[in-house]
Structure 1
Amino acid sequence: MATNPISSRAAIFREDGYARIGELLSSAEVDLYRAIYDRFLTGEIYCGDKRSDLGAGSAHSDGAAENITQIMWPSALYPPLLELPLHERGLALAREMIGDDAVLDFDMLIDKAPHTGMPTPWHQDAAYWVDLPDTRAVSIWVALDESILDNGCMWYVRGSHETPIRAHWPVGAGGGALECECSEDEPGATPVPLTPGHAAAHAGGTLHYSRGNTTDGHRRAYILNYRPADMVRLEREKGMDHGLKDNVRTVRNAAAR
């Protein structure tokens, strides 16, 4: 763990299991990321089977609108993202939150299409992960659109990162999403609206969810996940890479066509 003084937002993160971070991207940078993001959504940047609809339990096909589009490892599918500012700033923030040994574990895009109305169910990220001896982890959720109640801003349950991981089960037809018992009435449940370019951070055990998008616009978010370097190495030894190898293979195969 880092021995530097703990910042006020890191103290809030460790106490509550989540924290508002403030601005990570300027308005001009948000525009740049939106343009790249939309290249993923339109299919201009090939995603293969690393694109899925968390709200329907099926992969993107036949041009059908997705309720909750998830694209794993955008930085592997489109490496120029690594040269842009978000990954550098995200790493600095992760080290502030959980310690100087933090490294990128994986990144992903999650978009809620207009008028789809499909909520992301309550869950804890740790329910998806392999058991590790050091459970420090931070997910940095960056809003690229105005994130409000009506389009699916994040909700977090204060202090839930200090409680056991709840029983989870697959959502719907098996699109890979998990859910657990929780609701907006849970003590400590708090919505966290964000303006474009602003971010929130949450721990691996923090209960969170978002409502469906009932507005005319998209709710695009870029999420970066970090944990200690030794734990990423151990994770990989256990066979958990969040689809990284398959993504690299997908990109190479697409380029060869």
Structure 2
Amino acid sequence: MTSTAERPRTTPDTLTDEQLARYRRDGFVHLPAVLSRRDAARYAKAALAARDRLDDFHSGAAFTQLLQLWRTDGRLRELTLDPGLAGIATRLAGIPLRLWHDQLLIKEPHNGAATEFHQDQPYWPHAGSRHALSAWVALVDVPAERGCLTFIPGSQHLEGLRAQDLTDHDDLMNLAPDLRHQPRVTVPLRAGDCTFHDSRLAHTATPNHTGDPRVAHVVIYVDAELRLAPEPAHPVTDPLGLRPGDRLPDEHFPRFDVMS
């Protein structure tokens, strides 16, 4: 019997046509073992150390969020800029990509709060973007009771919505009432597993009811050719003095040159 530690790794070369088709149909795909369990544990240790070391982060009822760790933490930079993850993202998107930002999302033990249904794209000042997607990498085991993600397949086709309130259970559903009746898929993950999801896919995360933190590292990939939109404001672009219509500068938003 194959142990969890011996699961076949998912790489850009092993990504199947069926997985590609599933992502493009549903707006998400679960990929096992994009990291080994040993590497996931190593990055989880670095992530918790960063949480304890840094004081520049958002901490709310639903989660603790640290942005741009690739710029300050050598070990997590290795994960954010991992060419294997970027290669998978590029195959799924089908266009050249660059980094938008990374974020560490920790649900503390017994936090009791869900991250309510939302889309990611409305939070970002992007103009002319052909595609954007997130790699949500589990650095610890994330069963349903520890705060895994639930998706509404096919909801990535909803465009033009404002940003949603992550604390309001009904906010997205009031904007798009048909979503209330759509099937939902909950995806528990093993440490080292990953889900990739489209930036407009509706998703939520359950509370963490366990005694251990849920630790996820998220890498957000965007169209390499997009330009800055006038709004909304965003902490990764606001300090840079960019103007609407500017391309994102490579030194702050690195390109991934992995197209075959």
TM-score with structure 2 setting the length:
0.75
The answer (yes or no) to whether the contact 2:118–2:166 under 8 Å persists in 1 is: no
Number of positions where the alignment pairs a residue of Structure 1 with one of Structure 2 = 222
Aligned to 1:122, which of 117, 125, 149?
117
Give the gaps of 5 or more residues in structure 1: 56-66, 248-257
Deviation of 1:210 after TM superposition, in Å, equals 0.8
Give the gaps of 5 or more residues in structure 2: 1-14, 241-260
- Indicate yes or no: 2:101 matched with 1:106: yes
The answer (yes or no) to whether the contact 2:119–2:164 under 8 Å persists in 1 is: no
The answer (yes or no) to whether the contact 1:24–1:199 under 8 Å persists in 2 is: yes
Report the RMSD for the aligned CA atoms in angstroms: 3.0
Aligned to 1:243, which of 225, 236, 241?
236
Deviation of 1:238 after TM superposition, in Å, equals 7.3
Aligned to 2:197, which of 194, 202, 218?
202
Deviation of 1:24 after TM superposition, in Å, equals 1.0
SS in 2 for 1:180: helix
The answer (yes or no) to whether the contact 1:154–1:192 under 8 Å persists in 2 is: yes
Q: Which amino acid aligns with 2:83?
A: E
Query: Partners of 1:240 and 1:93 in 2: how far apart?
Result: 29
Deviation of 1:74 after TM superposition, in Å, equals 1.0
Q: Which residue of 1 aligns with 2:246?
A: none
- Indicate yes or no: 2:52 matched with 1:52: no
Deviation of 1:245 after TM superposition, in Å, equals 7.6
Deviation of 1:119 after TM superposition, in Å, equals 0.4
Q: Which residue of 2 aligns with 1:60?
A: none
Question: Which deviates more from structure 2 when the two are superposed, residues 162-171 or residues 125-134?
Answer: 162-171
Q: Which residue of 1 aligns with 2:51?
A: 41
TM-score with structure 1 setting the length:
0.76
Aligned to 1:140, which of 128, 135, 142?
135
Deviation of 1:15 after TM superposition, in Å, equals 0.7
After TM superposition, the structure 1 = structure 2 runs for residues 1-257 of structure 1, keeping only pairs within 5 Å, are: 7-43=17-53, 46-48=54-56, 51-55=57-61, 67-84=62-79, 87-171=82-166, 180-181=172-173, 186-231=181-226, 234-235=227-228, 242-243=235-236
CA 1:20–1:161 in 2, change beyond 3 Å: closer, same or farther? same
SS in 1 for 2:82: helix
